[in-house]
Homo-oligomer: A and B are copies of this chain.
């Protein structure tokens, strides 16, 4: 990544630079095969241990639309979606992620995906009938980072309910926005994602070049997925968008009314990274769901990469509100293609939580000052 000296400090305190190839001491080799042309993150398949409880959470509380369901599975979509689903809840023995699924531009991109991952020696499986209902020909792989990735093009169209304001609720979710993955070695992961055709939009570094997290996109938003440094492979969260900020507040209000406010893990708040307004919830299995709105257009090839200092207390919450420890430490297991949980490898680089709070860490509001009011100290947590 770009060296801090080659970045430009903005008037907002972070740095900008042009995207650069990522150096990794332990890179995934770059395949000869071209990557598939990925359009966007499309859906997540979540294994849940109590389908009724999960259905209640996603349908009755979060108001996602049920496209279809059977005894073991619920297929859900957001209000503006026209493909069959953005989230699959599947009953299973262990809470985990079965697939991070991306839509590709053409049917032929599936051949590209097979070639790309096969060359990397990954477990690659193709199912012409699709792995979930509503989806046609699909490729699933366990990628070099250990994550179960899916690619598909063919999909059943369903009605886009964008204009059905009679069905909107105060906290209506309108789009799937992004995934977030936990991985021990962020530069290695980001370099691999660049090979897969992703562009970096933002990251968090320290001034010695340790990378704590990075955000990457295909569609021109801040991300389709992000890599968060930590023990992995694990799934950090899946994020849905609302139209406006008050919609996110309405979800909080409703959780309070349902006496389920303990589903709120962090927020609501304004992110530094992405500039979006956010809320983090935990579903009945502990899977983390972000509600998100209003990041910015990133589609130009020279879109400035934003780099945040890990000690900047406004990087993850622009208002400086503390990140709860669970947000750093807890995440969901991911499955291999046989449905078994992937082993979790410990991060060896510095931990963002450790360097920012507690005895060995520090955070600042203003780069020139080292102290903050007690109520802002991360080490209260």
Contact = CB atoms under 8 A, between A and B. Distances in A.
A39 to B, nearest CB: 6
A256 B270 contact: yes
Contact of A314 (B13, B219, B256, B300): B256
A64 B174 CA distance: 26
| Chain A interface extent, by class | 35 or more
Interface string A153-182: 000010110111111111010110000000
A42 B14 CA distance: 25
Given A165-B254, A297-B219, A262 B373 contact: yes
Contact of A250 (B40, B162, B168, B300): B168
Contact of A296 (B10, B160, B245, B324): B160
A372 B262 contact: yes
Given A168-B250, A250-B165, A261-B313, A80 B373 contact: no
A106 B301 CA distance: 8
Interface string A267-287: 010101001010000100000
A359 interface: no
Contacts of A246: 244-246
Contact of A166 (B16, B39, B258, B297): B258
Given A256-B163, A262-B373, A80 B168 contact: no
Contacts of A255: 319
Q: Which of A246, A265, A381 has the most CB of B within 10 A?
A: A246
A320 B373 contact: no
A136 interface: no
B365 A40 contact: no
A203 to B, nearest CB: 16
Nearest to A373: B262
Interface string A184-199: 0000000000000000
Contacts of A296: 80, 160, 162, 174-175
Contacts of A23: none
B170 A262 contact: no
Given A252-B319, A302-B157, A243 B294 contact: yes
A137 to B, nearest CB: 14
13 contacts: A12-B257, A16-B160, A39-B301, A82-B303, A165-B254, A170-B170, A244-B244, A244-B246, A261-B313, A262-B365, A324-B380, A325-B375, A325-B380
Task: Give the 3 A-B CB pairs with smallest separation, nearest first.
Answer: A261-B320, A165-B253, A256-B318
Interface of A: 10-14, 16, 39-40, 80, 82-83, 103, 105-106, 157, 159-160, 162-170, 172, 174-175, 219-220, 243-246, 249-250, 252-262, 264-266, 268, 270, 272, 275, 277, 282, 294, 296-297, 299-304, 313-314, 318-321, 324-327, 365-366, 372-376, 380-381
